[in-house]
């Protein structure tokens, strides 16, 4: 399936399965706008004791996240235990005296759809169709705090013809990439050995180093990111899905 790309010759046989990252790999998400997402959620406030605005709530959310180092590009790969959004949102809103008429799943859906809508990355549908024709199995591992039900809903809406055997959201399984445990869970579900599986993602530390440490063959997808591709000259890099078949 894969030959030589960017002078990198792949000596592996075709994989039995390819696992994908979600964000900026399967789906190109718009730049995150937390205030927009929070404003949508606040439309469902039953009470807002202190009259907080979306800007106020997002500022507090940012302060909590910063104190934990969750989204610092230099530190986020060190956070290998997931914080499910239903826990984060419960604390955030209740600590600010805000009561919502929403379930945790509804908060996730409404916030995410407004804060970071996405579209399939260019050519991914054709690549998934090709893998289907080749009888190469597929699945997803995503570092994400939104509940698994909502993650599956979004992926199945944006990629309705997918045949992913499973979609692992780290919110449901505690461990985040690059922790090898989340990769090992996927291998157990697939009933495959590491050498049978490729992992494709956009984040070098979480996806490439994580997959490599777990024994999977990593592919660095750069088609929906601003990464430079000179960090690791050994890893296979692609900027478009058509380069893989």
8 Å CB contact between 177 and 210: yes
pLDDT digits (tens, 9 = 90+) for 36-64: 999 999 999 999 999 999 999 999 999 99
Neighbouring C-beta atoms of residue 129, cutoff 10 Å: 13
pLDDT class of 7 with cuts at 50, 70, 90: very low
CATH number of 4-30+119-244: 3.40.50.1000
**What does the pLDDT read at residue 167?**
98
**What does the pLDDT read at residue 10?**
55
Neighbouring C-beta atoms of residue 74, cutoff 10 Å: 8
Name which of 242, 187, 245 is nearest 211 in CA terms: 187
pLDDT digits (tens, 9 = 90+) for 228-243: 667 888 899 999 999 9
In the predicted structure, residue 84 carries a pLDDT above the cut 90 = yes
Q: Coil, strand or helix: which one is 45?
A: strand
pLDDT digits (tens, 9 = 90+) for 138-174: 999 999 999 999 999 999 999 999 999 999 999 999 9
**What does the pLDDT read at residue 224?**
95
Supply 38's token pair.
């929070």
Q: In what order do the strands lie in the sheet with 17-20?
A: 164-169, 137-142, 17-20, 197-201, 217-221, 236-238
Higher pLDDT, 7 or 75: 75
**What does the pLDDT read at residue 3?**
46
Domain boundaries, the chain: 4-30+119-244, 34-115
- CA neighbours closer than 13 Å in the CB half-sphere of residue 61: 23
């Amino acid at each position: 399936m894969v030959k030589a790309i960017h002078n990198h010759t792949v000596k592996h046989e075709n994989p039995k399965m390819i696992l994908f990252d979600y964000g900026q790999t399967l789906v190109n998400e718009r730049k995150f706008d937390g205030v927009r997402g929070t404003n949508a959620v606040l439309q469902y406030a039953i009470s807002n004791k202190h009259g907080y605005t979306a800007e106020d709530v997002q500022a507090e959310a940012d302060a909590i996240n910063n104190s934990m180092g969750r989204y610092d590009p230099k530190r986020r790969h060190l956070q290998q235990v997931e914080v499910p959004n239903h826990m984060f949102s419960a604390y955030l809103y209740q600590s600010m005296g805000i009561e919502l008429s929403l379930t945790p799943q509804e908060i996730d859906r409404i916030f995410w759809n407004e804060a970071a809508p996405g579209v399939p990355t260019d050519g991914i549908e054709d690549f998934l169709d090709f893998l289907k024709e080749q009888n190469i199995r597929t699945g997803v591992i995503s570092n994400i705090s939104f509940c698994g039900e909502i993650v599956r809903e979004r992926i199945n809406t944006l990629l309705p013809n997918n045949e992913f055997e499973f979609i692992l959201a780290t919110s449901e399984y505690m461990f985040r990439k690059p922790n090898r445990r989340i990769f090992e869970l996927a291998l157990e579900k697939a009933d495959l050995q590491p050498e049978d599986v490729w992992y494709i993602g956009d984040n070098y530390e979480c996806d490439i180093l994580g997959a490599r440490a777990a024994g999977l063959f990593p592919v660095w997808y750069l088609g929906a990111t601003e990464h430079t591709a000179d960090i690791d000259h050994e890893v296979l890099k692609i900027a478009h899905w058509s380069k893989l078949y």
